[in-house]
Amino acid sequence: MKKIISLLLVAAMSAGLLLGCQKKEEKAEQGQTELTIWWWGEEDVPGSKAWLEQTAEAYEKENPGIKIEMVQQTSDQLVPAWETSVQAGAGADIQFFWTGTYTLMYVWDEENRSLADLTELIPEEEMEHWLGTEGVSWGGQAWAAPWYQVSIIMLYNKELFKSAGLDPDTPPADWDELLAACGKLKESGVIPFENGGMKDGFNTPWMYSTMGIASHDSPKEFIEAAVNEGSFADESNKLWLERLYELNEKGYLNPLTMSNDFPSGRESFLRGESAMGLVTNGQALQWIEDMGGEDKVGIMRIPAYGDGAMAGKQNVQSQAFGIPEFSKNKEEAADFIVFMHQPEQLKSFYELTKNFPADDRFDSDTLSSESEKFLWDYLLNDSTVYPSLYVPSMVHSQGNYAAAQMVLSGSTAKEAAQYVEDIAEEWRKMSPDECEHFKDWAENYIE
């Protein structure tokens, strides 16, 4: 008798355990297809979550047989979760990707391709409208659908400029002008340039994308640097570190930069403590509004930190959605992706996030303010890629991050650049396969 009771107890506990597994799950009803989306983006593009929820709801209304489940990922987990899902053969039906290496590394190996062929799922007329597909293209086709285009732009505080005796309508356009402006701003008592918090290093890609492009003529050079020995320590790849070093040495940066973390370090601009600052384009418009409008705060072109053809261009990264090869609901996933690109959805995306969707059907006539028009124009006519997506992820996250911190802690640019090159050497040894693909990528790169 006691044995039976104890067995029942164990059974009850096991039931409790299983219940814990099912807790807080919304079970899809019978006959429904459940689409799972693993996504990221709220940090770069505040408002994207609201848009996704809204869009999913609209789609579900039109398609009652589909239920959409969205799982937001954190920056740390996006890639490992995806990688694991590939190894496990189960995961999302729609997967978010940072582009460049982060997408292509799952595509360029034909035998082990983890992304489904979109040309078989989505009509060509649809794919033609997508913007920013360079970062996801291989073998002449796009392997993921770009979602939005985000840029790191530079704001400047017109009032602080005036107080320092600078012309608020002509912000510095190249390196020498920048140095001169910083000098005057420093004298007037403010932080000339807020480059963002560097304690955790996450701000590095922002500096890499604004300063690092200046010594290059083409994104191909970044890809090649990965493959060619010694390249990360050469002049063109060292430039951004030299610039950073000089800005820091002259005291033009935030003295607390090594104590501040990425998300909040840049906020000194919002508080009026620094005269120039880096921010994403969507957040910029919000800040301009918060700080009193276009009379007080303006968007400036990225100064030309060097002489390369890419100098001063607007960096743009598209972040994209792909369909994993293992998904069992590819057609439904593709259909939803197409839905996300319809003009009505594009419009509401801009309204909610102030970031440009990656589709040329976006109606730019809806842009009202000067700043918005400026950004759109800059994006369309004078933009380039986001370079940290074009170097191996290890070189960037281990090398560049540490190099930037080294330079801000007093090491010379030469030492820091050599460190990056050392990491690259290690990468070449550790990942010969990836190295081969980078070679292919460089050879087949079309401007």
Partner 1 sequence: MRTGYKRRQRMGKWLLSAGVAVFIFVDLIPIFFTVITSFKSRDEYVYNVFSIPERWSLENYANLFEAYDVPQMFLSSLTVTVIPIFFIVYFGTMAAFAIGKFEFKGRRIFANMIFPLMSIPSVVMLFPLFRLFSKLNMTNKFGSVIVIYIGLILPFILNMLTSFMSSISSSYLEAAMIDGCGFWQMFHRIILPLLAPALSATTIVGAMWLWNEMLIAFIFLQDEAKRTLVVGLTSMQGLFQLDVPLLMAGATITTVPVILIFVFGQKWFIRGLTAGGVK
Partner 2 sequence: MIRVRKDKKRVPYMFMSPALIMISIVFLYPIISVLIDSFFQISGQKRTYTGIQNFRVLLENDLFWKSLINNMKFFICVPILIILGIVFAVLLYNRIPGWKIYRVLLLVPYIFSIAVTGIIFDCILRENGLFNILLEKIGLGHLVQPWLGQTSTAVYAIMAVIVWKEMGFGTMLILARLLSVDESMVEAARLDGAGIFTITRKILLPEAKPVISFYFVLCMINMLSWLFNYVYVMTKGGPVNSTYVMDFYIYQLGVKFVNYGMASALAVVLLIITFLLVGVQAAMQHYVFPDEED
Binding site for partner 1 (CB under 8 A): 2-3, 6, 13, 16-18, 20-25, 71-74, 77, 80-81, 84-85, 87-91, 197, 200, 260-265, 267
Q: Binder to partner 2 among 100, 201, 306, 322 (CB under 8 A)?
A: 201
What angle do the packed helices 48-62 and 343-353 form, to 10 degrees? 150
CB of 245 to partner 2, least distance (A): 14
29/112 Cα distance (integer angstroms) = 34
Residue 159 touches which member of partner 1, partner 2, none, C-beta under 5-8 Å by kind: none
Does residue 434 touch partner 2 according to CB under 8 A?
yes
- Token digits of residue 351: 């309204």
Backbone angles phi, psi at 114, to 5 degrees: -100, -5
Nearest C-alpha neighbor of 307 from the set 205, 396, 176: 176
Q: Tell me the three state secondary structure of residue 391.
A: coil
Does residue 126 touch partner 2 according to CB under 8 A?
no
Does residue 429 touch partner 2 according to CB under 8 A?
yes
Strands 94-98 and 137-138: unpaired
Q: Binder to partner 2 among 60, 109, 174, 440 (CB under 8 A)?
A: 109
Residue 71 touches which member of partner 1, partner 2, none, C-beta under 5-8 Å by kind: partner 1
Quick check: 317 and 99 in contact, CB under 8 A?
A: yes
CB of 233 to partner 2, least distance (A): 16
Does residue 199 touch partner 2 according to CB under 8 A?
yes
The C-alpha angle with vertex 275 and arms to 274 and 281, in degrees rounded to 5, equals 95
Identify the burial level of 110 via C-beta atoms within 10 angstroms of its C-beta, where 0-12 means exposed, 13-18 middle and 19 or more buried: exposed
When the beta carbons of 6 and 369 are compared against partner 2, the nearer one is: 6
The C-alpha angle with vertex 344 and arms to 343 and 350, in degrees rounded to 5, equals 90
Question: Considering only 1-9, 107-115, 266-274, 298-306, which stretch makes contact with partner 2 by CB under 8 A?
Answer: 107-115
* CB neighbourhood size of 351 (10 A): 11
Question: Considering only 25-33, 72-80, 285-293, 363-371, which stretch makes contact with partner 2 by CB under 8 A?
Answer: 72-80
- Token digits of residue 170: 């002509």
Residue 170 touches which member of partner 2, partner 1, none, C-beta under 5-8 Å by kind: none
Nearest C-alpha neighbor of 321 from the set 330, 309, 308, 310: 330
**Per-residue contact track with partner 2, 342 to 381, x per CB under 8 A?**
----------------------------------------
Does residue 106 touch partner 2 according to CB under 8 A?
yes
- Token digits of residue 368: 């009202």
When the beta carbons of 254 and 318 are compared against partner 1, the nearer one is: 254
Residue partners of 48: CB distance under 8 A and separation at least 6: 41, 42, 148, 349, 352, 353, 355
Residue 6 touches which member of partner 2, partner 1, none, C-beta under 5-8 Å by kind: partner 1
Quick check: 294 and 308 in contact, CB under 8 A?
A: no
Q: Binder to partner 2 among 70, 121, 300, 394 (CB under 8 A)?
A: 394
When the beta carbons of 84 and 170 are compared against partner 2, the nearer one is: 84
**Strand runs (DSSP E) across 261-348, as ranges?**
274-280, 297-300, 314-315, 317-322
CB of 407 to partner 2, least distance (A): 10
In order of 15, 173, 177, 383, the CA distances from 312 in angstroms are: 62, 8, 13, 9
- Token digits of residue 371: 């700043």
Stretch 226-265 residues interacting with partner 2 (CB under 8 A): 256, 258-259
Q: Binder to partner 2 among 6, 87, 366, 369 (CB under 8 A)?
A: 87
Which residues contact partner 2 by CB under 8 A? 76-77, 79-80, 83, 86-87, 105-106, 109, 111-112, 114, 199-201, 256, 258-259, 393-394, 397-398, 401-402, 405-406, 409, 411, 422, 426, 429-431, 433-434
